[in-house]
Amino acid sequence: MSTVIKGGTIVTADRTYESDVLVEGGRIAAIGPNLSGDTVVDAEGAFVMPGGIDPHTHLEMPFMGTTAAETWASGTYAALSGGTTMVVDFVIPARTDGGLLDALAAWEEKATRQACSDYSYHMCVTGWSQTVFDEMEQIVARGINTFKHFMAYKGALMVNDDEMFASFQRCAALGALPLVHAENGDIVAALQKKFMDAGVTGPEGHAYSRPPEVEGEATNRAIMIADAAGVPVYIVHTSSEQAHEAIRRARQKGMRVYGEPLVQHLTLDETEYFNRDWDYAARRVMSPPFRDKSHQDSLWAGLSAGSLQVVATDHCAFTTEQKRFGLKGFPAIPNGTGGLEDRMPVLWTKGVKTGRITMNEFVAVTSTNIAKILNVYPRKGAIEVGADADVVVWDPDKSKTISAATQRSIIDYNVFEGFEVTGLPRYTLSRGEIVFADGKNDAPRPGRGQFVPRKPFGAVNKALSVWKDITAPRMIERKPEYMPIGV
Ligand code: URP
Ligand code: ZN
Ligand code: ZN
Ligand code: ZN
């Protein structure tokens, strides 16, 4: 059985051209004019793009005394309906001194049974021990080449600088890429106490206790630690000019640093936390918080300038009922928002339609750059012969108003409620199967998604390790009388 995507304009990270796409055995078999196949997907008037990859999700994540309510089934289905064909989720060990393999088993149990889209994992390092050191190698052997470190969430997931340095060195040796949640956790904890003591107990206290400087400082520190360890580094949810500045400066110095703004930070600002409706404000509590609007210009500029490479969601969705755990004080509001379903339409509407980014940049930041950085290109992130046929047929004229009432996500609200978006998937194909056809084939199929293993030693790791070796400090050879006795 073959499928042909007919009459569309192919948009990749570097080209725009008219062509048909033939799909066989789940892969792209041919690209060219006048192709035919058993099933025809109508792409007339539409753009044919690589399916989106969301590099940052937390489906059913146990966190802050509860578990994110978005399930693997609902989250990956929401993703497909919005044009995202692969998610990369964070595996969190239950202990800080090991348990990486146990955690992976727990994630596999949930994902295998439920995933509608393909998926991959990042592993979190939440402490340091010989066991963590040993298990990291086994994790890499299992197809996971990225390790996330939290500089925030003191007393829970946070690691200290020495732990991070040890883990980064291990990443360098294994050809893996460290990821960092960059906020100074000690200062956040102190500011949380300060505002709680002052009676600022509502969601606005969340924003006040995590100012952009706290993120900028931690981003600089993470970059310095990565440089000392000789490893590239990927900063997740870059939300502020301060963090972007640190990334930009490092890149200009030749350092291998990546930055990942979220669609939320690009389009929503901190006034959301000042809403008089507690539920409204608490639903938007995530870390880092939404920022003053001025930061948005910086993030958009980073995407077009190339100093920021990818757009994610950090989808970590809690119900209103769960958010209300924080009525006793903002530090207890479960941190996280949603966006899996809306990332592509919102980015298209606020980015491509406004001329902030081009269609090709849109493909780069939602798919191709992510596949390259995570070392899964061109199997994913490409419209190329041999690539997985993860394709979105994007209708630039299709509009809707985002609303929790009509979304596929099972959460009872949506942070983009009321956004009018133009540019939506007409069809989404995953490994050649039509998994979403608006109004026609609109049902989740849990369990069809497959794990996508990712090999270590991407080109950037290799280049950096060669350069670091050439430029490493070396001892100066001196006459024997100047050498310590016995050497
Ligand atoms: O608030 C957030 N971002 N929740 C998810 C966990 C994390 O920090 O990425
Ligand atoms: Zn620790
Ligand atoms: Zn984070
Ligand atoms: Zn996250």
Q: Is the peptide bond before 288 cis (omega within 30 degrees of 0)?
A: yes
- Partnered with residue 394 across adjacent β-strands are 47, 425
Global pTM value: 0.97
Helix (H) or strand (E) holding 303: helix 294-305
Q: How far is the CA of 315 from the centre of ligand 1 (A)?
A: 8
Q: Give residue limits of the domains in the chain.
A: 51-422+449-464
| 246-276 tens-digit pLDDT | 999 999 999 999 999 999 999 999 999 999 9
Query: Would you state the pLDDT for residue 150?
Result: 98
Q: For residue 293, which of 216, 343, 248, 239 has the smallest C-alpha distance?
A: 239
pLDDT for the residue numbered 458: 87
Specify the fold of 51-422+449-464.
TIM Barrel (3.20.20)
Measured by CA distance, the residue closest to atom 2 of ligand 1 is 336
Rounded to the nearest angstrom, the distance between the alpha carbon of 466 and the centre of ligand 3 is 31
Nearest atom in ligand 1 to the alpha carbon of residue 236 is 9
Which residues of the chain have a pLDDT value below 50? Answer: none
Q: Ligand 1 pocket check: which of 54, 58, 63 to mutate, most ligand atoms within 8 Å of Cβ?
A: 58
Number of H helices, E strands in the chain: 16, 19
When computed from its CA atoms, the radius of gyration of the chain, rounded to whole angstroms, is: 23
Nearest to 257 by CA among 310, 214, 304: 310
pLDDT at 485: 76
What tokens appear for 451 in the block?
A: 């794990």
The pLDDT value given to residue 472 = 94
Average pLDDT, the chain: 97
Per-residue buried b or exposed e for 310-332, using 16+ beta carbons within 10 Å of the residue's own CB:
bbbbbbbbbbeebbbbbeeebbe
3 state DSSP class of 150: strand
